Chain A
């Protein structure tokens, strides 16, 4: 689960990490008030779950409270399109109004769970404010790492080592290390899968603090963070993905026209690849899982069919625990619910596959039966 920058900073402040002065606003008036409270020039930042806001026109430094209100008015209610969003963008429903700072240095700091070391890793770089992938590719020597042993946690010496490595002034090394230790505590206690501060800045008056902050809370750990659930902003998610999330099905919307109904994540990815290989484009990733019942299949297929881009549907099911006949009945019900006429290519193997094919062939839907993976692909070749 992604959270907004203002939410991430509030959580950081709770852990004693210094953050810029400011406040969130949902109306131009509120923005004006926050700006007046800060005095002087302020920065107004659109709150969306996507990077690249600055280049997309979602961030502006303004001279006074009236200008803050004006800029807020101009972006609230719009869709912000950045390189990380689709062409439709994401809605701006609030802004963060913050003090401007005299920035003398921009650094990079992140924490993540690294599969290869099976550990939490701290990444730091003197090249802040840039795309870190780019830094890693062009100047890998500027990327510093510290691997954390979970039995002792992140140690202050590791923080100091990273701070020295980033070339920080001696008097700032301890504050920087202290910030890292606090961020690690936040990371652990809130089951974060990623924390990124880019840039982490050093100001002219000797402060070290985050100018931007991204936090992702692990979805699988939400069961023990009821308090964090209220930070979810479903408006930032694709509406169909949000619906799928609510019924416990994994659905990712893509931009093609072939709706894909598959069980199992690996088989679902393989199916998308096969669709792509024959020159067609998948409309979605959808894993209905092994334990889905007829109602959940019906709801999931309903979501898939309510994407107006879907013109055809590919069903690829390896029945195990999931019975093909039950899946077929849920599918037929969803077609009836949505009044869809999208033709189907169906491949079913495993438990009750024959019965499943029969349900579909008696349904009156436009069904092409395929027996192998390659047959299914050929049936989609336009």
Chain B
């Protein structure tokens, strides 16, 4: 078992014929992901590369023909908001925009629209996507080979740091149920709390790694949920303690403005809520091993 995606997930790729889209679609399919459709306006009626995946002009048509229920979006940042709304309007329950650099002024109305007028969940943007190794379902850009099926859930604002966590866990023979990258942008869809709630209810997740970073208050919101409702152990790491205030650390959301955005404040809130601190980024695997060994 897993959360959000599993062996019944039918993936549609928006921007499938682009450079990034085609490269990653093939990597997802090699991993075992059930990619059922691609969408590129103007390329409808063709087949994607050497596969048997049909390409459609519109998401609406792709959903009607293939029953796709997850949209993986490789459309470039300037056009991504349109792609997200197209999939939501076609009734797709989960959309995963990968692009970095979508203007926040595009995302504010999109986030409001998805909440108010659709039942679509958005993961990201500016995220690596998600993967459920036990179901061979990879919906994103993470290197598939490092993963291992198991019972630890990972939720993170960072891509490569998630791979680091997976690498450490798999190296200790600890597998993962689902690894979810919620993305590094200030205006995004799925939150830590959303993912923690799903892991909490997933019978096949025993413990959770939560990787946060400076900026915003998403980690404090996670801490409140952990304190109030979380029944499973959570180990957490917050990166960016050494970052100077007021400087954007790559991720648009990773900028300290005010005390709440600082790494130590976030860690304090998580520890107070009962999460186990991961002392340094090199100790993610060992911390979980200790928790599971108890």
Q: Is the CB of B242 within 8 A of A282?
A: yes
Judged by a CB distance under 8 angstroms, whether B217 is at the interface is: yes
Taking CB atoms, residues of chain B closer than 8 Å to A326 are: none
Taking CB atoms, residues of chain A closer than 8 Å to B78 are: 223-224
Q: Is the CB of A266 within 8 A of B282?
A: no
- Bound-state CA distance A277–B253 (Å) is 24
Q: Is the CB of A119 within 8 A of B249?
A: no
* Interface window among A37-45, A91-99, A268-276: A268-276
Q: Is the CB of A265 within 8 A of B184?
A: yes
Taking CB atoms, residues of chain B closer than 8 Å to A377 are: 280, 282
Judged by a CB distance under 8 angstroms, whether A364 is at the interface is: no
Which one of B160, B242, B280 lies within 8 Å of A267 (CB-CB)? B160
Taking CB atoms, residues of chain B closer than 8 Å to A275 are: 242
Q: Is the CB of B250 within 8 A of A320?
A: no
Q: Is the CB of A115 within 8 A of B241?
A: no
- Bound-state CA distance A372–B257 (Å) is 32
Q: Is the CB of A119 within 8 A of B141?
A: no
Contacts A263-B160, A264-B160, A285-B250: A115 and B282 contacting too (C-beta < 8 A)?
no
Q: Is the CB of A113 within 8 A of B187?
A: yes
Minimum C-beta distance from B208 to chain A (A): 17
**Interface range on chain B (Cβ under 8 Å from partner):** 35 or more
Taking CB atoms, residues of chain B closer than 8 Å to A277 are: 280
Q: Quick one: CB contact mask for B228-264 with A, threshold 8 Å, 1 for yes?
A: 0000000001011111101111111110001100010
- Bound-state CA distance A276–B161 (Å) is 17
Judged by a CB distance under 8 angstroms, whether A350 is at the interface is: yes
Residue of B nearest to A194 (CB): B257
Contacts A250-B250, A320-B142: A220 and B281 contacting too (C-beta < 8 A)?
no
Taking CB atoms, residues of chain B closer than 8 Å to A250 are: 250
- Bound-state CA distance A351–B144 (Å) is 11
Q: Is the CB of A266 within 8 A of B242?
A: no
Residue of A nearest to B159 (CB): A264
Taking CB atoms, residues of chain A closer than 8 Å to B248 are: 252
Q: Is the CB of A318 within 8 A of B160?
A: yes
Q: Is the CB of A266 within 8 A of B159?
A: yes
Minimum C-beta distance from B21 to chain A (A): 13
Q: Quick one: CB contact mask for B18-34 with A, threshold 8 Å, 1 for yes?
A: 00100100000000000
**Interface range on chain A (Cβ under 8 Å from partner):** 35 or more
- Bound-state CA distance A224–B77 (Å) is 12
Judged by a CB distance under 8 angstroms, whether A287 is at the interface is: yes
Taking CB atoms, residues of chain B closer than 8 Å to A191 are: 103, 105
Contacts A265-B251, A377-B282: A273 and B111 contacting too (C-beta < 8 A)?
no
Minimum C-beta distance from A131 to chain B (A): 11
Taking CB atoms, residues of chain A closer than 8 Å to B214 are: 269
Q: Quick one: CB contact mask for B143-176 with A, threshold 8 Å, 1 for yes?
A: 1001000000000111111111001000000000
Minimum C-beta distance from B148 to chain A (A): 15
- Bound-state CA distance A254–B245 (Å) is 11
Q: Is the CB of B216 within 8 A of A274?
A: no
Judged by a CB distance under 8 angstroms, whether A87 is at the interface is: no
Judged by a CB distance under 8 angstroms, whether A138 is at the interface is: no
Judged by a CB distance under 8 angstroms, whether A235 is at the interface is: no
Minimum C-beta distance from A82 to chain B (A): 12
Q: Is the CB of B104 within 8 A of A266?
A: no
- Bound-state CA distance A272–B221 (Å) is 25
- Bound-state CA distance A270–B215 (Å) is 14
Judged by a CB distance under 8 angstroms, whether A149 is at the interface is: yes
- Bound-state CA distance A270–B241 (Å) is 9
Q: Quick one: CB contact mask for B52-92 with A, threshold 8 Å, 1 for yes?
A: 00000000000000000000000001100000000000000
- Bound-state CA distance A374–B286 (Å) is 12
- Bound-state CA distance A267–B128 (Å) is 13
Taking CB atoms, residues of chain B closer than 8 Å to A150 are: 108-109, 112
- Bound-state CA distance A287–B101 (Å) is 14
Which one of B77, B244, B258 lies within 8 Å of A136 (CB-CB)? B258
Q: Quick one: CB contact mask for A14-55 with B, threshold 8 Å, 1 for yes?
A: 000000000000000000000000000000000000000000
Residue of B nearest to A255 (CB): B244
- Bound-state CA distance A321–B281 (Å) is 22
Judged by a CB distance under 8 angstroms, whether A133 is at the interface is: yes
Which one of A84, A118, A220, A268 lies within 8 Å of B112 (CB-CB)? A118
Q: Is the CB of B164 within 8 A of A318?
A: yes
Judged by a CB distance under 8 angstroms, whether A120 is at the interface is: yes
Residue of B nearest to A84 (CB): B246
Judged by a CB distance under 8 angstroms, whether A290 is at the interface is: yes
Judged by a CB distance under 8 angstroms, whether A234 is at the interface is: no
Taking CB atoms, residues of chain B closer than 8 Å to A350 are: 143, 146, 163
Judged by a CB distance under 8 angstroms, whether A349 is at the interface is: yes
Contacts A266-B184, A266-B213: A252 and B282 contacting too (C-beta < 8 A)?
no
Judged by a CB distance under 8 angstroms, whether B186 is at the interface is: yes
Q: Is the CB of A268 within 8 A of B249?
A: yes
Contacts A265-B251, A269-B254, A287-B250: A151 and B112 contacting too (C-beta < 8 A)?
yes
Minimum C-beta distance from A373 to chain B (A): 3
Which one of A113, A120, A269, A372 lies within 8 Å of B282 (CB-CB)? A372
Which one of B108, B241, B282, B283 lies within 8 Å of A276 (CB-CB)? B241
A127-164, CB < 8 A from B: 133, 136-137, 149-151
Minimum C-beta distance from B120 to chain A (A): 15
Which one of B143, B159, B282 lies within 8 Å of A374 (CB-CB)? B282
What 7 new A-B contacts, CB under 8 Å, besides A351-B143, A374-B280? Answer: A115-B218, A118-B112, A137-B259, A266-B159, A267-B160, A267-B161, A350-B163
What are 18 residue pairs bridging A and B, where the CB atoms are less than 8 Å apart in the complex? A115-B186, A115-B253, A116-B221, A149-B112, A150-B112, A218-B104, A220-B104, A221-B105, A250-B250, A263-B160, A266-B211, A266-B213, A269-B243, A270-B281, A271-B281, A273-B242, A318-B164, A350-B143
